[in-house]
Amino acid sequence: MEPVADKGKSEVDNYKEIMLIYNAALKQITTKLEILNEEFQDVHQYNPIEHIKFRLKTVESIVNKLKKNDREVTLDNMVQYVNDIAGVRIICSFRSDIYRIADMLSNQSDLTVISVKDYIVAPKPSGYESYHMLVKIPVYLSDRIVETKVEIQIRTVAMDFWASLEHKIHYKFTGLVPDHLENELIECAKMVSLLDARMENLNTEIQESRIPED
């Protein structure tokens, strides 16, 4: 069962309940990630996760997305067609960590992976790189269990820095970004990709090197 509107309640009350469920899903995902990170540290003496960000989409953003996709603005359509109402962003150091974290999440028995978009293997034309997972997680309420969608984005620190700058530029120019800035972003994305690869190689060399014995 997904979040649904109760016809016996007002639109406002239904919206509040639905957002409460999405917020609960976020808490469950972030708790899972914290436990997995602590376990990884205990077993491998290494933290794959640098930090975690999470957010609930605003009413304005939800409405805009529905209108953009020519959907009627209703609570049912919000739940059915807006997949990123609840969003988690996982920031890690290296590209290999991205796939390690994705595998750990996929192996959780109560988490169902709906879809995956790998923008690292196939970056967007803008140069955007990230690994996206759309998952469902059960939220246990007092009277029912609600399967709730959460979008998970996994990226390196460098990818996140680039994406943050791209967002600021597109917000500033409301989608009409000058060509020279678009081209500069693409070049920066190439530099980020190269930096990630070199940092990964450097880290691998450090991990594999042995300290000379006295």
How does DSSP assign the chain, residue by residue? ------TTS-HHHHHHHHHHHHHHHHHHHHHHHHHHHHHHHHHHS--SEEEEEEEE--HHHHHHHHHHTT----HHHHHHH-TTSEEEEEEESSHHHHHHHHHHHHT-TT-EEEEEEETTTS--TT----EEEEEEEEEE-SS-EEEEEEEEEEEEHHHHHHHHHHHHHHHHTTT---HHHHHHHHHHHHHHHHHHHHHHHHHHHHHH--PPP-
Domain 11-158: give its CATH superfamily: Beta Polymerase, domain 2 (3.30.460.10)
Per-residue pLDDT tens, the chain, 214 aa: give them.
Answer: 677 666 667 888 999 999 999 999 999 999 999 999 999 889 888 889 999 999 999 999 999 999 999 999 999 999 999 999 999 999 999 999 999 999 999 999 999 999 999 999 999 999 999 999 999 999 999 989 999 999 999 999 999 999 999 988 888 887 688 889 999 999 999 999 999 999 999 988 888 876 655 5
Question: How much is the pTM?
Answer: 0.89
Q: How far from the centroid of its chain's Cα atoms is residue 163's Cα?
A: 12
Whole-number pLDDT of residue 212:
59
Boundaries of every domain in the chain: 11-158
